[in-house]
Amino acid sequence: MVDAAADASDGGLPCPLLDARIEVDRTVGPGCLRMERTTVVDATLTLEPDTEVLVAPGGYLHVTGSGALVAIGTEDAPIVFTSEAADPLAGDWECISLEAQASASELSHVRLEYGGATCSTNGAGNRATLQVFTGARNLSNLTITDSASSALLFAGDVRGFSNNTFARNAEPSILLRAPNLIALTGPHTFEDADDFILVETGSRLSTSGTWNAQGVPYRLDGTLEVRLGADVTVEAGTTIQLQGSIDVFEGSFNTMGTAEAPVLLTSAHDSPIAGDWGCVFGDAGRFSHTTFEYGGAGCGGMDSKSLLLANDQTMIDNCTFRESAGSAIHGYFASDAVCPSWCDTNTFEAIATTAIDCGSTTPSPVACP
C-alpha cells in the first residue's frame, strides 16, 4: 500500500486529495490519491492505470447526473481503491455508486477492497462496495474483496460483465435486482465456498434471455414474477435456491439442463425439508434435465400443492421430482391425455401425495410406474 502521507514515486510529496465535487472532465493518476467524499456531476472522471485511491473513513465516490467514471487499468498496472488505514478492515469506507444516467462508466482491471459500509450517497442506505444503477459500458476484470457487506449491487443492465473475482465479503458477493437478472453474464470467480448471489424479487423480471449459470447458487428472497411476455431460459448447471415460488404469467420459463449439468431448483434453507418453497407456476415452458426438490408448499393462488404446475403445452423430460409436500406435477390446465405422458422419462421420489394430479376442479391422480 502507498503511504497516505507520501508518494515515493512523486519525490515524497503528499498524496493529493481528490476534490469533493467534480463538475468538469478530469483525468488523474498514476500514483496515489486520497479521497474523502467525492461527487462527480455531469462530468467524466478518468483514472489512469497504476492509480491507487486511499479512501478516508466513511468515504465514497458518487457519480450522478450524466457523469461517468472511467477506470481502465491493466493486468500489470491495476487501479486500486483501498482503505487509507495502516491496518485496514472491512467497512473502512463506504462505496462507489454509479447512478442511473452514468451509463458511459467503464471499469476494468480495478481492485476494490475494505469498503462496504452503509452507503450514504443517495439516501437509500444500500450496502455494497460497488453499486451500479445504470447500464454501464463494461465491468470486467474487477477484484472486490473484504467488503463489510456485498461486493456488488447489480441494479442496471450492464452491457459488458465478465471475469470478475469476489472473495472474503461479509454478505453475498452479488446483490442482484430481479429486473436485471438477464444482464448478469459471466464467467466469474467466487473464492468462498459458501458464497451465493442474492436476488431481490421485489420487482418483476420482464426481459427475455438466458439466466446464466455461475459458480455459485442464486438465492431468491421471495417469489419471482416473470411477466410481460418475457421468455427466460435457465442455463445448464444453474442452481436456484427458493423460499417462495417462480410465478410465470404471459411469459415462458424454461430450464435446459443436460445429463452432465442439470438445473437444480431447491430449498434456500441449510437443513432442507419438503415444503420449504412453493412451486414453479407457468403458462408454458420446457423443463429438461432438471431436479425439483424440497418444495410443494403451494403457489399461484391455485390451492394446489405441487412442485410444478403445468398445462398441455408444457414439455417435461428427464427431470427428477423429489421431497415434495404435495404432488410432483399438477396438470392444472392439462388434459387427461397429456398428464400420463409425463411419467415416461421423469423420476419421482419421496412425493407426499401422488406423482401427478391432472385437472383443475377435481384433480385426478396419475400413478407413475
Q: Supply the pLDDT for residue 303.
A: 67
Tell me if 244 sits within 8 A of 278, measured CB to CB: yes
- Decide which of 122, 151, 172 is a domain's last residue: 172
Are residue 224 and residue 143 in the same domain, yes or no? no
> Is 182 within a domain?
no
Are residue 258 and residue 123 in the same domain, yes or no? no
- Decide which of 134, 155, 172 is a domain's last residue: 172
Average pLDDT over residues 131-151: 97
Residues 275, 280, 281, 285, Cα dihedral to 10°:
-160
**Residue of higher predicted confidence among 122 and 230:** 230
pLDDT one-digit tens code per residue, 317-336: 999 999 999 999 998 877 88
Are residue 40 and residue 143 in the same domain, yes or no? yes
Are residue 265 and residue 131 in the same domain, yes or no? no
pLDDT one-digit tens code per residue, 43-59: 999 999 999 999 999 99
Q: Supply the pLDDT for residue 312.
A: 87
pLDDT one-digit tens code per residue, 346-357: 999 999 999 998
Average pLDDT over residues 59-78: 97
Work out the percent of the chain whose per-residue pLDDT is above 90: 82
Q: Supply the pLDDT for residue 3.
A: 41
Are residue 212 and residue 133 in the same domain, yes or no? no
> With 60 as the cut, is the pLDDT of residue 8 above it?
no
> Is 280 within a domain?
yes
> With 70 as the cut, is the pLDDT of residue 13 above it?
no
Tell me if 151 sits within 8 A of 176, measured CB to CB: no
> Is 188 within a domain?
no
- Burial class for 118, CB neighbours closer than 10 Å (0-12, 13-18, 19+): middle
- Decide which of 133, 156, 172 is a domain's last residue: 172
Domain span including residue 208: 201-369
pTM of the full structure? 0.93
Are residue 46 and residue 130 in the same domain, yes or no? yes
**Residue of higher predicted confidence among 265 and 305:** 265
Average pLDDT over residues 191-204: 96
Q: Supply the pLDDT for residue 301.
A: 63
> With 80 as the cut, is the pLDDT of residue 94 above it?
yes
Domains: count for the chain: 2
Q: Supply the pLDDT for residue 89.
A: 98
The whole-angstrom separation of Cα 150 and Cα 26 is 29
Are residue 254 and residue 308 in the same domain, yes or no? yes
Confidence category of residue 202, pLDDT binned at 50, 70, 90: very high
Are residue 231 and residue 131 in the same domain, yes or no? no
Are residue 265 and residue 161 in the same domain, yes or no? no
Are residue 148 and residue 276 in the same domain, yes or no? no
Are residue 2 and residue 115 in the same domain, yes or no? yes
> With 60 as the cut, is the pLDDT of residue 4 above it?
no
> Is 192 within a domain?
no
What is the Rg, in whole angstroms, of the alpha carbon atoms belonging to the chain?
24
> Is 71 within a domain?
yes
> Is 184 within a domain?
no
> With 90 as the cut, is the pLDDT of residue 206 above it?
yes
Query: What's the whole-number average pLDDT of the chain?
Result: 92
Find residue 315's DSSP bridge partners: 286
Are residue 106 and residue 229 in the same domain, yes or no? no
Average pLDDT over residues 228-254: 94
pLDDT one-digit tens code per residue, 146-195: 999 999 999 999 999 999 999 999 999 999 999 999 999 999 999 999 99
> Is 292 within a domain?
yes
> With 80 as the cut, is the pLDDT of residue 216 above it?
yes
> Is 181 within a domain?
no
